[in-house]
Structure 1
Amino acid sequence: MCTGTLQDFLKLQTPVSESVGAGDLPRIGDTARIERALARAGADGIVDLLPSGLRTQLGRTFGGAELSHGQWQRIALARGLMRESALLLLLDEPTAALDPQAEHDLFELFAEQTRDSAERGAITVLVSHRFSTVHMADRIAVLSQGRVTEQGSHAELLAAGGDYAELYRTQALAYR
């Protein structure tokens, strides 16, 4: 079984519980699982602020609460995390709408969760252009024109001095 969250996610204008629960339709009514998915996505705080919690209607179309783009992304991420025992989790720019601190905090949470799931043979694939978070990965694959051009750990790729090292250093200069 696989699951994931894409950069271009859906803003399901339904109650929060359904928007998240849709990530695992047989368990769409499982409140405990929905709450765990929200916590795994760092989105439980969003729900705490909504007037009716999990029952809050989302989106303006049906007169519901409108979320920021980053909050919508966290709800979509929770939807992608509904399947707790997935062997493959694909995250395509899952924090693109978040501020740098929120992104860092979420990636720390992902790193912890990924270590736990790796013990049962699961794989997490993270697609990102932000090297500030990519360096935490066990294995990094650099793609160019649809082909893997480099692969290894962060340290190995820096030592190799290829495209990864050049791009990493370019992004790092912006933070100095």
Structure 2
Amino acid sequence: MPTSARVARLGDAAIEVVARDGLRGLTHRAVDSEAGLPAGSTSYYARTRGALVELTFGRIVELDVEHTELDVDHSAPDVDELALALADLLHHSITAGRSRTLARYELALEADRRPGLRAVYDRGGARLRDRAAEVVVSLGSDAPRRHAAMLVAWFDGMLFDAVAGAGPVLTRAELVECARDMLRACGGRA
């Protein structure tokens, strides 16, 4: 297995460990076990616990960037098409991507206490905000920075409320309607 594939496998396993057991459960041994690899495999790639936390978060950012590619025509954006794509992304993050979402929340709080992790977190967040700005610009926003911030805050709030908050998990159809409303507020035309 190539190094990058092995690191990705370890990162995926670490995400599952953090989602299930929290950061306290994130150990080299737990990741080895989750990945189905021999003892010592994780420590070869991440010698310290800090390095293991960074490997985990790096994998989350990599997957987030990969999964935020919206399959839409950016040259002729359509609010309904974008709303469907955003709702699908949100629905995936609530359901199939729930482990990554939970692990991201755990690590977001840790990033507030660790400057090195904070830098990784902020770089990943900037990439996602840039994508949000591209979306609102394509819709004709007259205030892309503000509208991108609104769109990201809406997405994050809906996600948190469904996964860790007290709110209900909305249906896919309800998420589409919410996304459509938000996109219209961010410069999208009906």
Give the TM-score of the pair, scaled to structure 1: 0.33
Higher-strand-fraction structure? 1
Higher-helix-fraction structure? 2
Give the TM-score of the pair, scaled to structure 2: 0.32
